[in-house]
Chains A and B, each alone.
Chain A
């Protein structure tokens, strides 16, 4: 059996409008092993959510185009599947937790019905049995099962996010994509939700892609970490490799720009400049304009992904043998 549950190869996703082509995801490759949690980190517009929607087959069909690449789930290319076939994958094999629990739930349906909906769709069982299982799911995420008849507005933000998680896990998916699952929540509630997600993930052995901009959340939840910048994965490695020995200049700069609880600094480090416009990306290194370690070469060619140490890659010329000579 293949140990990778999901492998993405050279994925390119563009949004095309009348005026411009937005290059949201540029040739990313990523493997997710069984039972593993991979963190996808990056700032707004780095292409994290587009990647997730691409895996789910939920990209807005009128404007978004998968230009090239493949997304294989257990050896089957998801991009080749028809809409009808994808319905059987979504919710059953791959589930997604969306960022904002306030808008992810249907306000006019009871939460019991919303959880049961997924179960009815995938596991052909009676309505009664589905509702029974919905109540079990509620108990699992720490909500009194009797509240299955309540509507979303009767719950607080943290509880709504628990319900969204219950829906995502209802059919025991093999892969869970969590898109900023705790960003809309307060820290003490975030701690509760992360705690619960970790317990459930360990218990069911679910593989998970955790999308976040919070490096603290990654440190707490993930085994591997991929840093995205301008639609590319610029650094990938185990949590220890990326956090203890960041290699890519962007990752390093990102660490220095967060205020730390342990250290006192007079001024924060600032990454000069702005993220490049995704409708007008350079043909060379996209971080070049903001990089403090660049050499003339960087503004001529696009760097390739180099293995810095076993299992740790960076997309930067600095780690090629020719760097010192330049």
Chain B
């Protein structure tokens, strides 16, 4: 299967008064066409920055992002906007904050079409927007409603319609369901899956919810402080969790079962600072298995089993 996106040694640093913040640090991965990669991690691990960097909402510090073989990370931003923005779209986390409260539903969906297809006439734009509303399951009577009149699920459908209106091939979904109730969450996840099947879309699905990511992804990548620390097949990570951080992350999820008295690995402390990190394993300070080697040398992402990469010096000891 061909790769739609190839990310090579991507870095995004921010300079802050206290030093350089390594938000995304040397990340390398591929996404196959028509597949979904799930990016998991806690707040501050760089998953949203990674998504925004692929979208060129941030300019990468270094590294390559190949879209169908063309490097979109280093090209001038105007050229990217003209030729590639409509191919790569994003669905944002908070449907309460990402929509202009002064625009009605139809205007909101027309906006990206107007911006990106200037040759279209007014009637065509409206026609296309109405088509999009139907596609994502928004009733025609809602055309003149404003975002504040709608519930979270419907607002997120507007966000999806806006992203899809440009016929993108690749969509970055940044926590699209975390602001929604469970029954609405199920509706949106099903909608995203149906659209993927119909249109052959490729998703990068950013979330902190492991059960959601397991449900929707083909591959999963776990991020910690800007780095990718484990990457494998979505089912595999639940069968053979190798990196100690992934183990802790999985065992921390409360299971909705009255009899599951699972042994929990409770991590001590909290995330260390991503500002000017020392050249060592970034998880070492919280890792129950850390040794002197972990504090001296930075582990690289390496292949432990077929299609299963881990960045840990002692990965072999943890595999089943």
Contact = CB atoms under 8 A, between A and B. Distances in A.
Interface in A232-279: 239-240, 242-244, 253-255, 257-261, 264-265, 267-271, 274
B47 to A, nearest CB: 12
B287 interface: no
Contacts of A192: 266-267
B58 interface: no
Contacts of A260: 211
B173 to A, nearest CB: 15
A270 B183 contact: yes
B108 to A, nearest CB: 20
Interface string B227-253: 000000001001000000000110111
Interface in B13-47: 42-43
Interface range for B: 35 or more
Interface range for A: 35 or more
Contacts of B189: 259, 268
A22 to B, nearest CB: 15
Interface in B249-267: 249, 251-260, 264, 266-267
A189 interface: yes
A contacts with B: majority SS = helix
B212 interface: yes
B208 A186 contact: yes
Interface string B210-223: 11101100000000
A44 interface: yes
A216 B208 contact: no
Interface in A206-233: 213-220
Residue of B249, B256, B267 with most partner-chain A CB within 10 A:
B256
Given A156-B270, A244-B258, A265-B215, A270 B186 contact: yes
Contacts of B210: 187, 261
A170 to B, nearest CB: 24
11 contacts: A186-B42, A187-B42, A187-B249, A188-B249, A194-B254, A243-B257, A258-B182, A259-B215, A261-B211, A267-B193, A268-B215
